[in-house]
Amino acid sequence: MKKFSTIGIFCKEKDDRIKATLTALHEFLSNKGYKVVALKNSAKYIDINPIKKKEFAEVIDLAIIVGGDGTLLRAGRLLADKDVPVIGINLGRLGFLVDVSPDLIAEQLTPMLAGESTIETRSLLNAEAFRGEESLGSSMAFNDVVLHARDDVRMIQFDTHIDDVYVNTQRADGMVVATPTGSTAYALSSGGPILHPSLAAVVLVPICPHTLSNRPIVVSNTSQITITMGESRNVGARVSFDGQANIRLQSGDKVVIRQQEHTLQLLHPKDYDYFNILRNKLGWSVRPS
């Protein structure tokens, strides 16, 4: 692993615990001789001059995220195409991705910054929406691309093609197309399987399908997935990227989803155990009291 010199701090927007954690983190990194940079919302807590968002990923060789999985998703979308590795300090709830304790910053980060860490590569998706030949916009997604009804509690109708081969037409509340990382998020709550992060796969999970035989499908991450809004059921819909960006859709629009060229590197403590994370976060193996 390369040695780090400039470390960027990225934090969640509002949390009473942010200031204490950021102060401890900044003090620890400064005492270790690292140059620390931060965006405006982080810099105000540690009294340094902020750096502009467009410059953030250009000048750092490591990012430390303070927050929950949602904070890491936002950072991942910003950093993925710059090949900047990420460490997460957990101030969220579940924390599947952020696993450094705010109470053990020095104990856990010292060996990690010295190269004693578990390195994990996570894949991303890229999706683009079209109206005819016109592009409506595109975005990356770390967790998932979700097609869903926009304003009404109504089912939408859509066709799914994989590598230009017709799969089915279904009526449902929507569809979640998730990476292995996203398989423990919205896809899981919609009845999808958990995909190990090492899998080169994508899962398609219908949301409340009207046909009970509609089941999740796992395909290769090299596949191109095309979802087209049905002409016969013109219900307002949108496509969402990690729940953080949206594009409005109408009848006949299509969304094309592919594997993102770049990946995101997550750094974990040396004793990182994915299945232990699942046991703890999902309450597996808990005996009744």
Would you kindly state where each structural domain of the chain is located, as residue ranges? 6-123+263-282, 125-259
- Is the pLDDT score of 233 beyond 70? no
The strand pairing partners of 254, in sequence order, are 130, 228
- Is the pLDDT score of 283 beyond 90? no
Identify the residue whose tokens are 């929406």. 129
pLDDT band at 16, cuts 50/70/90? low
Query: pLDDT tens-digit profile of 133-155?
Result: 999 999 999 999 999 987 777 88
Q: What is the pLDDT of residue 17?
A: 72
Q: What is the pLDDT of residue 118?
A: 93
Most confident of 68-77, 80-89, 164-173: 164-173
pLDDT band at 184, cuts 50/70/90? very high
Would you give the end-to-end CA distance of the chain in angstroms?
A: 45
In this structure, the number of other CB atoms found within 10 A of the CB of residue 73 comes to: 25
Q: Any catalytic annotation for residue 69?
A: yes
Buried b (16+ CB within 10 A) or exposed e, 226-241: bbbbbeeeebebbbbb
Q: To which H or E segment does residue 226 belong?
A: strand 225-229
**Whole-angstrom Cα distance, residue 116 to residue 89?**
17
On the CB side of 169, CA atoms within 13 Å amount to 6
pLDDT band at 216, cuts 50/70/90? very high
Identify the residue whose tokens are 């750094």. 267
Quote the tokens at residue 260. 């993102």
**Whole-angstrom Cα distance, residue 52 to residue 106?**
28
Query: What is the value of pTM for the model shown?
Result: 0.91
The full length of the chain comes to 289
6-123+263-282, what's its fold? Answer: Rossmann fold (3.40.50)
- Is the pLDDT score of 119 beyond 70? yes
- The one catalytic residue among 15, 47, 69, 83: 69
CA distances, 267 to each of 41, 57, 115, 122 (Å): 23, 17, 10, 11
**Whole-angstrom Cα distance, residue 186 to residue 164?**
26
125-259, what's its fold? Answer: Tumour Suppressor Smad4 (2.60.200)
Q: What is the pLDDT of residue 207?
A: 95
Q: What is the pLDDT of residue 1?
A: 59
Query: pLDDT tens-digit profile of 54-80?
Result: 899 999 999 999 998 889 988 988 888
**Antiparallel, parallel or unpaired: β 62-67 and 35-38:** unpaired
- How confident is the prediction for the chain on average, in pLDDT? 91
Most confident of 37-41, 61-65, 150-154, 212-216: 61-65
Q: What is the pLDDT of residue 203?
A: 98
Q: What is the pLDDT of residue 179?
A: 97
Higher model confidence: residue 63 or residue 236? 63
Identify the residue whose tokens are 């780090």. 4
CA distances, 177 to each of 81, 273, 282 (Å): 21, 25, 21
**Whole-angstrom Cα distance, residue 207 to residue 125?**
19
pLDDT band at 231, cuts 50/70/90? confident
CA distances, 21 to each of 18, 60, 69, 107, 145 (Å): 5, 20, 16, 14, 32
Q: What is the mean pLDDT of residues 239-259?
A: 94
Burial of 102 (0-12, 13-18, 19+ CB in 10 A): middle
Using a pLDDT cut of 70, give the percent of the chain over it.
96
pLDDT band at 289, cuts 50/70/90? low
Asked which of 16-25, 183-192, 199-208 is least confident by mean pLDDT, the reply is 16-25
- Is the pLDDT score of 254 beyond 90? yes
Three-state DSSP state, 106:
helix
Answer yes or no: are the C-beta atoms of 112 and 88 closer than 8 Å: no
**Whole-angstrom Cα distance, residue 10 to residue 63?**
7
Identify the residue whose tokens are 């975005």. 139
Q: What is the mean pLDDT of residues 212-241?
A: 90
Higher model confidence: residue 12 or residue 159? 159
